[in-house]
Structures are given as C-alpha cells and as structure tokens.
Amino acid sequence: MRIDQLAHRRSTLSEHAALAEVETLLGTLGDQVVGVETEASDLTRELGKAEGDVDQVRERAGRDQKRLDDGRVSSPKELESLQHEIATLGRRQGDLEEIVLEIMERLESAQGRRAELAVQQEQAQARRLELMASRDTSTGEIDLEVTQLGSQRATQVGSIDEPLVALYEKIRSHQGGVGAAELKARRCGGCRLELNNVEIGQLRDADPDEVMRCDECRRILVRTPESGL
C-alpha cells in the first residue's frame, strides 16, 4: 500500500504541473520573440530604404542648389524652374525625414519589446531550472523509499507461503492497493464495518494461522490483541 501511495505521490508532484505551465510560457515567449524579431528585421529594411530615399532627394537638391549658386543658370524661365524644383525637393525631403523618424520610433519600440521578452525568458528559464531541481530531489527521495520498501517486502515475502502471497496480491489489485486490513475493536480496517457476532465467533474459533477474510470487503483480516475477540 505504501509503495502505491508513493507512486501516486510521485506522479502528482506539484512540480509537474508547475513545470508544464513554465514550458507553456516559454513556448509562448518564444513565439513572441520570433514575431518581434521579424518585425524589427522588416523595420530595419524599411528604415534603410527610407534613409536611402532621403539621401537621393538631398543629393539632387544639393546639385540643383550648386547650379544655382554657381550662376550657371541665366535663363529666367530655367531659373524659376530650378528654384521651384529646389523648393519641391525640400518639402519632399521633410516628408521623407518624418517617415524615417516614424520608422525609427517603431523600430525602437520593437527592440524594447524584444529586450523585455529576453528578461521574461531568462526568468522563466531560471524558474524552470528551480522546479526541475525540486522535482528531482523529491522523486529521488521517493525512489529511495520505494527501493527500501521493495527490499523489505522481498525479504518478508520470502518467508510467506506463495499461495498466501498470490491471494494477497489478487485482493490488493481489486481493493485499491490494500489486500489486508487490521481487525480492531471488531471493526475491519479496510471497509470500516463492524463484524457481527457470528463472524466474531468464527474468527475466535479459527486457528491463529488460518487465513480469515472480511465477509464484506474480502480483505485478509489481521488479528491482534486489539481485535476484540
């Protein structure tokens, strides 16, 4: 019975459920990291293109301004056209620089979320290691006790008739792991029911070595001085 209890305890350690939660959290965080890193990568490419557009407009405006400053434009119409283009390029450059700033802000936000996720991942990994250590300690203690009980049981079984051991195992498999119960104050320790006078008389008259069973739960009754016989 104790071995069965230990097996149940081993399979229901609180660390198992806690570890499952941490593993789920780590999986979720991993997915979020992939998402934010993909976003940051896309924004980095978008930023590079936007900055390239600004450079192109700036270079073109610089060439136009140099032509204007050098006095190489003599035609009033061409001069007016050049001045208009320089003004248009200036507005275009301003619009593109606004786009660059907006992308930079979005990229900074994505990088900030990535840093936060990294901290959460680190904390979850630390919690995972802590739970695994606690689980391993608990299972190690349980396994040691099971081994010790197994050795004791093997020694005890060796001194008991095989038919009785087989009967005990058969009853135990059908009665929740308990094949024998102490009879105490005329009450079966297995089903907790009190035996009637006829049953008590049969137990009292039986040979001390005779295997007697509870009529209700069919467990082997263990008689002691406290059985009330």
Retrieve residue 27's tokens.
Answer: 């999986």
Task: Tell me the per-residue pLDDT of 205-219, one tens digit each, with 9 for 90 and over.
Answer: 788 778 888 888 888
Task: Tell me the per-residue pLDDT of 155-203, one tens digit each, with 9 for 90 and over.
Answer: 665 556 667 677 777 777 777 667 788 888 888 888 888 888 888 888 8
pLDDT at 28 over 90: yes
Under the banding of pLDDT at 50, 70 and 90, the label for residue 70 is: confident
pLDDT at 149 over 90: no
Retrieve residue 216's tokens.
Answer: 């209700």
pLDDT at 16 over 80: yes
pLDDT at 159: 56
> Partners of 183 in the beta sheet?
188, 223
175, 184 in Cβ contact below 8 A? no
Retrieve residue 178's tokens.
Answer: 């308990």
**pTM over cut 0.85:** no
Q: What is d(CA 132, CA 23) in angstroms, rounded to the nearest whole number?
A: 11
pLDDT at 184: 84
The CATH number of domain 2-158 is 3.40.50.970: no
pLDDT at 10 over 80: yes
Q: What are the structural domain ranges in the chain?
A: 2-158, 162-223
Task: Tell me the per-residue pLDDT of 74-103, one tens digit each, with 9 for 90 and over.
Answer: 788 888 898 999 999 999 999 999 999 999
Helix (H), strand (E) at residue 36: helix 14-70
